[in-house]
């Protein structure tokens, strides 16, 4: 599956701005969800669902009118709609007229009792739900690939870092589980955000349902049933009881905050990979013909992780838009939300889609260099092993204080070789050459075994993947075999 770019090449569009997200990065399925085609087809579907429910509840709407609407859901004359919008300065009414033009028998009942937000807001909610459904299996696949990686390297010792300074050993698999844990939290939050989405439903101009109450001659029960029926037809379990003209814009905050949190997770993971690539311990996939630098042919730049970091920063900033929008929705609503939401909602999902596609590709081809990792351990482990050496000497009858002083002096001498002369850490050679440590010379190899410094890392990996990851991935098993091939 190729995921880069929603549009083909050619001269068309080269003389005008096109969003890189749509033209270069995001998948076709995500681009479609935020396209005019999906938007206006959904508007027509919502008008049909409303008319079907109104007919069932007794309004004079014929089967012939409904069938005419069904036959023309995708028959959209975009040129006519554009001309109508130019004339009317109202996008919804332009499409009401355009739909009515190809459905002359149904023209009089299209949008009956509804306000613009009936199609606008409900379409946005449908789109958000579908867009999350696109992201969820992609996120699950990334977790699955990383889980396989963590299993493979669960026991491989590696130097841990705190403050990006050498710390105690961990394992390559355990470090990967730090990444997986964050992504699992994102998967759970994204699932919850999807399940918490509620339909705006059939509410009228200021959310009071007054127009529908008039249509049904004061029958409150029928108005409530209309709302319930349309909500169910649209695929939602429940609708908001209370709305203004729009659904509360806090919904957008909730959804985009989850995506922003995902962006933070991906940025952290890809930054870690970039740091490890600098250390030559771990690399993202590198194609045979790939060029790392136009001037430096030897370079293997982590460009995919860099792309993820770049786009993740953009994703994290987008949550500021709905935060500010929700805060300035005066009374029942203002229209200063519209243009902003056209940008931030689409860009957030296209960006999240891009970074997940890219991260899946990275996670499927991570390259580990055990010999480099081993060499770095050898450089640092002698210092870390000093406490073990002291304890072994005490068990052999030595004085802790005397041993501590001798190791302190030898450690400083070895550190001077490393820092001032650029040499290798020769602390162990110095200990082997010192007769004072002869009682434990035979134990040094065992005392310096890297696996003895990783604690329960391997066991933690096994338990974590079994208890916290596997069950999250069960519902996505049928979608796990999808491959991602990046064209850029």
- At 406-451, the pLDDT tens digits run 999 998 999 899 889 988 888 889 999 999 999 999 888 888 899 9
Task: Answer yes or no: are the C-beta atoms of 315 and 263 closer than 8 Å.
Answer: yes
Q: Residue 12: which pLDDT band, with cuts at 50, 70 and 90?
A: low
Q: Write the pLDDT tens digit of every residue in 304-324.
A: 999 999 999 999 999 999 999
Using the predicted structure, report yes or no on whether residue 104 has a pLDDT greater than 70. Answer: yes
Angle at 256 between CA 255 and CA 259, to 5 degrees: 100
Domain with 136 in it: 117-218+231-287+297-368
Using the predicted structure, report yes or no on whether residue 68 has a pLDDT greater than 80. Answer: yes
| pLDDT of amino acid 296 | 46
Q: Residue 355: which pLDDT band, with cuts at 50, 70 and 90?
A: very high
Separation CA 144–CA 163 (nearest Å): 29
Picking from 250, 280, 435, 253, the residue whose alpha carbon sits closest to that of residue 367 is 280
User: Which one is catalytic: 2, 293, 327, 451?
Assistant: 293
Tokens of 287: 């194609």
Domain-embedded: residue 477: no
| pLDDT of amino acid 13 | 63
Domain end call among 432, 447, 462 = 447
The reply to whether 92 and 47 lie within a common domain is yes
**Is 380 strand, coil or helix?**
helix
The reply to whether 322 and 407 lie within a common domain is no
The reply to whether 83 and 202 lie within a common domain is no
The domain tally of the chain equals 3
Q: Residue 477: which pLDDT band, with cuts at 50, 70 and 90?
A: very high
Q: Write the pLDDT tens digit of every residue in 165-195.
A: 988 999 999 999 999 999 999 999 999 999 9
The reply to whether 362 and 391 lie within a common domain is no
Q: Residue 3: which pLDDT band, with cuts at 50, 70 and 90?
A: low
The reply to whether 309 and 403 lie within a common domain is no
The reply to whether 205 and 317 lie within a common domain is yes
Separation CA 382–CA 414 (nearest Å): 10
The reply to whether 63 and 26 lie within a common domain is yes
Backbone angles phi, psi at 168, to 5 degrees: -65, 160
Domain-embedded: residue 464: no
Long-range contacts of 192-195 (CB under 8 A, 24+ apart): 193/132, 193/254, 193/255, 193/258, 194/129, 194/132, 194/133, 194/136
Task: Specify the residue for token string 């929603």.
Answer: 6
User: Which one is catalytic: 163, 294, 478, 487?
Assistant: 163
Look up 261 and say whether it is catalytic. no
Domain-embedded: residue 465: no
Range in 296-300, 397-401, 409-413, 431-435 with the lowest mean pLDDT: 296-300
Domain-embedded: residue 176: yes
Using the predicted structure, report yes or no on whether residue 150 has a pLDDT greater than 90. Answer: yes
CATH number reported for the structural domain that contains residue 80 in this entry: 1.10.275.10
Q: Is 266 buried (19+), middle (13-18) or exposed (0-12) by CB count in 10 A? A: buried
Long-range contacts of 86-95 (CB under 8 A, 24+ apart): 90/116, 91/116, 92/43, 92/116, 92/119, 92/120, 95/40, 95/43, 95/44
Q: Across all residues in the chain, what is the average pLDDT?
A: 92
The reply to whether 317 and 196 lie within a common domain is yes
Domain-embedded: residue 13: no
CATH number reported for the structural domain that contains residue 163 in this entry: 1.20.200.10
CA dihedral 188→191→195→199, nearest 10 degrees, is 130
């Amino acid at each position: 599956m190729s995921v880069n770019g929603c549009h083909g090449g050619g001269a068309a569009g080269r003389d005008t701005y096109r969003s890189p997200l749509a033209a270069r990065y995001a998948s076709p399925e995500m681009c479609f969800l935020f396209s005019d085609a999906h938007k206006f087809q959904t508007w027509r579907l919502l008008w049909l669902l409303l008319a079907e429910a109104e007919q069932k509840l007794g309004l004079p709407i014929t089967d012939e009118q409904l069938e005419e609407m069904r036959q023309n859901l995708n028959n959209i004359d975009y040129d006519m709609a554009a001309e109508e919008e130019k004339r009317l300065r109202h996008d919804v009414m332009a499409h009401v007229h355009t739909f009515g033009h190809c459905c002359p028998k149904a023209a009089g009942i299209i949008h009956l009792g509804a306000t613009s937000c009936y199609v606008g807001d409900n379409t946005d909610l449908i789109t958000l739900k579908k867009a999350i459904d696109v992201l969820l299996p992609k996120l699950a696949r990334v977790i699955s690939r990383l889980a396989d990686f963590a299993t493979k390297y669960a026991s491989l010792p590696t130097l841990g870092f705190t403050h990006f300074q050498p710390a105690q050993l961990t394992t390559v698999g355990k470090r990967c589980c730090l990444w997986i844990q964050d992504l699992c939290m994102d998967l759970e939050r994204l699932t919850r955000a999807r399940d918490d989405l509620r339909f705006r439903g059939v509410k009228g101009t200021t959310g009071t349902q007054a127009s529908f109450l008039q249509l049904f001659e004061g029958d409150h029960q029928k108005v409530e049933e209309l709302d319930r029926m349309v909500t169910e037809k649209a695929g939602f379990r429940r609708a908001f009881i209370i709305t203004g003209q729009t659904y509360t814009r806090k919904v957008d905050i909730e959804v985009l905050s989850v995506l922003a949190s995902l962006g933070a997770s991906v940025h952290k993971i890809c930054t870690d990979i970039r740091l490890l690539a600098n250390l030559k311990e771990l690399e993202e996939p590198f194609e045979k013909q790939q060029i790392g630098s136009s001037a430096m042919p030897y370079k293997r730049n982590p460009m995919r992780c860099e792309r993820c970091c770049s786009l993740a920063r953009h994703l994290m900033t987008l949550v500021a838009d709905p935060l500010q929008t929700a805060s300035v929705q005066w009374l029942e609503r203002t229209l200063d939300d519209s243009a902003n939401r056209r940008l931030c909602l689409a860009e957030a999902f296209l960006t999240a889609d891009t970074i997940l596609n890219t991260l899946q590709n990275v996670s499927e081809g991570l390259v580990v260099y055990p010999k480099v990792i081993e060499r770095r351990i050898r450089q640092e482990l002698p210092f870390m092993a000093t406490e073990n050496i002291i304890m072994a000497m005490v068990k052999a009858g030595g004085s802790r204080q005397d041993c501590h002083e001798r190791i302190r002096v030898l450690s400083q001498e070895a550190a001077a070789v490393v820092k001032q002369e650029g040499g290798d850490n020769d602390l162990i050679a110095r200990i082997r050459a010192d007769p004072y440590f002869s009682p434990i010379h035979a134990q040094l190899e065992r005392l310096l075994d890297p696996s003895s410094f990783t604690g329960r890392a391997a066991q933690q990996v096994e338990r974590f993947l079994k208890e916290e990851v596997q069950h999250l991935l069960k519902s996505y098993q049928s979608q796990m075999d999808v491959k991602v091939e990046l064209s850029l």
